[in-house]
A and B are shown apart, each in its own frame.
Chain A
Amino acid sequence: MSPNTDSVLEVISKLASMPIDSLKRETELVADLGIDSPKALQLLVELEDEFGIEISDEEAARMETVGDVLDFYEKA
C-alpha cells in the first residue's frame, strides 16, 4: 500500500525543519528547503525506513521538488 501524501510531507517537513503547510508541490528540495546531497540521502533513508519502499540512486537523482517525491509514492 502506498503511503498517503500527508505522511510523506511529514517526513520532509521534519527533516527540513519547515512547517508542513509551507510545502507545495513545486517547492524545490535544494533551493527552497536547503536539502543538500547528504540531507537528501538522509531523507531517502527516512522515507525508506518509514514506508519500506526502496528508492534507487538513479530515481533519487531525479527528484527535484516535493512533487517529485510525492509522485514517486503515488506510482509505487
Chain B
Amino acid sequence: MSSHVTEARLAHIHGIPRRKPIDDLPLTFPETVAYAAREFSEKGISVLDRSGRNPDRRSFAEVLDSVKQAAGKWRALGVQNGDRILLCIPTSWEFVDSWLGAICIGAKPAAIAPAMGGLSSSSNFAERLEKFRSVIDASRLLVGDRMASDLRAQFPDTLGAISLTPGELFSEESGDQSFRQVEPEEMAFMQFTSGSTGMPRAVVITHQMATLNAYAINEGIGDRFGAPVSEWSELHSAWLPMHHDMGLIGCLLFCIANGIELSLMNPTTFLARPIRYLETFHKKRAVMSGPNFGYQFCVDRLKQSDVEGLDLSRLATANTGSEMVRPETFKAFSKLLEPTGFTPDKVMSCYGMAEATLAVSFDGFQKGVRTHSVPQKSEVLVENQDVVSCGFVVPDTEVKIVTQEGTTLNENELGEVLVKGPAVFSEYYKNEEATNEVLKDGWLYTGDLGFISNGELYIAGRSKEILVIRGDNIMPHELEWLAEEARGQGESGERTAAFSVSHEEVGEEIVLVVETNVTDTEKLGELDHSIRSRIGRAMSLPVHDLVFVRRGRIPRTSSGKIQRTKIKSDYISGAIERLDV
C-alpha cells in the first residue's frame, strides 16, 4: 500500500492505480445504458415493494427498453434537449425510467426529496419546491398524485401548471424513443447542494464526470479486495434516497455502469423496517452502503433476536460515508450482527461530496474502522479528537491539505481538504460567484478539515457551517429564518444562530441560540414552543436545545455577521448565559 504515497512528506496524495482499463468503456449515459443491456444482460435491477419484499426485477436489457419508452414519453410531452426537470418522487421504477429517460434525450433532471415520512404540510413543501425549481428554472415538475392535486388547487398558474405525475407521464402516447447523441463534456444532470447563502446550488454533472466516477468507485471499493467490485460482487443493495448523491451515483449509476446486480429499497421502508434491508444481504457476497446514521439506526432499532437466522458471513463490505464516521456506531453495529458472521473488519469508510460527483476516497485496508488522533490544536474547532481514516484516493484524482492562505501543508498537519480530478465539477448552474468561491485552479476547496498520514486521508470536521443531520445537509440559515419568522417582529438587531453538536450515540443534533429582550418566563415558554413548532412543521426536525440569550450575546464579526463557530464553542464549553424558560 505504500506505493500509493507518491510524495512522502507533503500533504498531497494521488489516486490509486487502476486495475481495469477504461479505454473502451462508454462515457455518456445513452451509451452506458445501451452498453449495460448488451454486456451485462443477465444482471439487472430489482425494486422492492413497500414492505421491503417482492422484488420487481428487470434485466439491464429490459431497463434499456423502459428507459427508451420514458424517453419517448418525455418527448411526447414536448420536453426537449436542454430543458430542466425537477424530480420529486420516491425510489421506484418510475424514478429510474424518468430520470434516465430525460438524460438520454438531453433534458437535465435534478432530484429532491419527496414529501415522504416528513410529516410536512403541503404549503411549506410548496415553498421548498419553488426554491429548488427556481435555482434551475425547471419547466417540469414530477411529483406524487396527492402533491400534484394540491399544487394544482393552490398554485394553478405556477407550480400547479407545470406539475406532472408519473401516472400521467407514463400514460402519454410514446414519441420518438431514440437516444440523443451527446458529448461526454455535456451536462447530464444536476445535483443540489447547500449554499452558504441559504439558497441551494445545483452542481452541474457532465456525462463524463458521472461515468468516470462510477468506474472510480468500482476501483476504490475493490482496492482492498485486489479486484474491482464488478468482478466479484453478487449484489449491491441500497436504501439511500435517489436525491442523495450516494444513492444516485454510488448505487444506481455505479451498478448500471459497471454491470452489478442492484436491489433498491425505498428509504421509508428501511426506516420503518431496517431488518428488511439487512435481509437482502443474506448469504450474498455483496456491498452494503450508507451514512453513519443508517448503521446507528439499525443499532437503535434492532435486537439480536431480530437478526437470528441471518447469514452475513459472505458480505464483502459495509461502506460508510457522507457524514462523519463514528467508531462507536460500528462497534455497536458489529456487536449486534456478530451472530450473523458479520465482522468489524468489513467496515469501510469513504469520503466524497456532490461537487466531486460523489466518491473521492475509500479505506483500502481490511481492518475496519481505524482512527488517528487529530495532529494539533488549531484555531478551528475540532469536536472529535480521534478521527477515522477515509483511506486512499480514487484513480486519477488528487487530494492535498492547505492552510487558510492556500499553502500546501505537510503530512500530519491539519488544514482544509482540496480535491482535483476528472469528476470534480466545473460549475454550479448559473452561479458563477458561488463556483468561484470553491473552485480555484481546478482545485475544489471542500470546506472540510483534515490531514494526511501515511498517505491516507483523515477527515476531522467541517470548516463550513453546514449541519449534517442524519446524512442530510442543512444550512444554518434555513433554521435561523424559520426561528425568526416564528418569533415574529422582534426588536431590531436580535439575531439567531443555528449549529449542531454531536452526541456520542445519536450523532449530530440541532442547537438554536436565540437573542431576545423577553424576560418573562411564561412568554419565553410560548416563544420556545412556537419556534420548535415552526421548525418541526417546516422541516420535520426536532430542536435538541433551544437557548435564549440577551440581545447582543451572539458574537458578530466587525461587519455584523454572526459567528456560529464561536457561539458553538461557547455553548460546548458552557460559557453561554442562558435565560431561564
Write the residues of chain A forming the contact surface with B, with a CB cutoff of 8 angstroms: 28-32, 34-38, 40-42, 44-45, 57-58, 60-64
Contacts and interface: CB of A to CB of B under 8 A. Distances in A.
B470 A64 contact: no
Interface stretch (B351-359, B408-416, B490-498, B534-542): B534-542
Contacts of A37: 117-119, 271, 540
Nearest to A29: B119
Contacts of A28: 532-533, 536-537
14 contacts: A28-B536, A30-B535, A32-B529, A38-B297, A38-B470, A41-B268, A41-B272, A42-B272, A42-B301, A57-B90, A57-B268, A60-B117, A61-B119, A62-B121
A58 B272 contact: no
A10 B532 CA distance: 24
B540 A30 contact: yes
A58 B533 contact: no
A45 B117 CA distance: 12
Contacts, number: 82
A7 B29 CA distance: 52
Contacts of B90: 57
A40 B533 contact: no
B447 interface: no
B184 interface: no
Nearest to B90: A57
Contact of A32 (B147, B470, B532): B532
Contacts of A34: 542
Interface in B279-320: 297, 301
Nearest to B469: A36
Chain A to chain B: the 7 pairs with minimum beta-carbon distance, closest first = A30-B536, A31-B536, A31-B532, A41-B271, A34-B542, A31-B533, A58-B146
Contacts of B116: 57, 60-61
Contacts of A62: 119, 121-122
Interface string B515-546: 00000000000000100110111001111000
B542 A30 contact: yes
A60 B268 CA distance: 11
A74 B245 CA distance: 41
Contacts of B126: none
